[in-house]
Amino acid sequence: MALRAILGGTFDPVHIGHLHAARAVRRELGLDSVTLVLSARPPHRSASASAEDRWRMLELAAAEDAGIEISDLELRRRGLSYSIDTIEAFRARGETVVWILGSDGLDAFRAWHRYEAFAAACHLAVMARPPAAVTILPGFGEAGDAAALARQDTGLLFRARTPMLDVSATRVRASIARGDDASGLLAPVVWDYIRRRGLYRG
């Protein structure tokens, strides 16, 4: 089955950390592309920018990199954006899903909607975000190498070798609200969009 690596996020806004993560996993897994899925209506938080602005910023960032695809599945779906529904939708198309996560998100991940369904629905690719360690989650086995993800349908955890960049959307928003120059943390097209639309000014 074809492998589909997915980085889901609020992307409020999409920043260089997300793009770096997508490129790193793409290279480590030997894929043509990684798909960024916009969490249009995130269940456990609110977003600062509208779903339409966040989607537009994703479109702009992805237009510059043939190895980054974007999906508006959760934008088009009604109700809260539950990742498991998205994973099951891609699986229903006959794809093997690799869900990308930062190690800092592993604890929160266990509280996600229908957490117990994930090991039967996808693999995980976890990027280290020090100081949080990459740990194996109940229900998942460890992938010895990237090729293992193609041999088995679901239930493996792959430790990405590339660490995450020290950037977060929270930091980007705070920097813009203070009136600082956040251009180094964003794709230039996204930075232009934010300035044109006056987003995150506080």
Residues that bind ligand ATP (CB under 6 A): 7, 9-12, 17-18, 21, 101-102, 105, 127, 164-165, 167-170
Nearer to ligand ATP, 10 or 86 (CB): 10
Number of residues that make up the chain: 202
Nearer to ligand ATP, 10 or 35 (CB): 10
Taking alpha carbons only, the member of 58, 165, 150 closest to residue 104 is: 165
Cis amide leading into 13 (omega within 30):
yes
Nearer to ligand ATP, 9 or 62 (CB): 9
Task: Mark 79-90 as b/e (b = at least 16 C-beta within 10 Å).
Answer: eebbbbbbbbbb
State the minimum distance, in angstroms, from the CB of residue 179 to ligand ATP. 19
| Cβ neighbours for 113, distance < 8 A, ≥ 6 positions apart | 43, 80, 82, 83, 84
State the minimum distance, in angstroms, from the CB of residue 18 to ligand ATP. 5
Nearer to ligand ATP, 51 or 167 (CB): 167
Give the strand order in the sheet containing 95-102. 68-71, 34-38, 2-9, 95-102, 123-127, 156-159, 141-142
| Cβ neighbours for 27, distance < 8 A, ≥ 6 positions apart | none
Taking alpha carbons only, the member of 87, 146, 93 closest to residue 113 is: 87
State the minimum distance, in angstroms, from the CB of residue 12 to ligand ATP. 5
State the minimum distance, in angstroms, from the CB of residue 26 to ligand ATP. 13
With CB atoms as reference, the residue minimizing the distance to ligand ATP is 17
Contact predicate 115/140, CB 8 Å? no
Cα distance between residue 22 and residue 165, in whole Å: 12
State the minimum distance, in angstroms, from the CB of residue 161 to ligand ATP. 13
Nearer to ligand ATP, 151 or 186 (CB): 186
Nearer to ligand ATP, 33 or 168 (CB): 168
State the minimum distance, in angstroms, from the CB of residue 164 to ligand ATP. 3
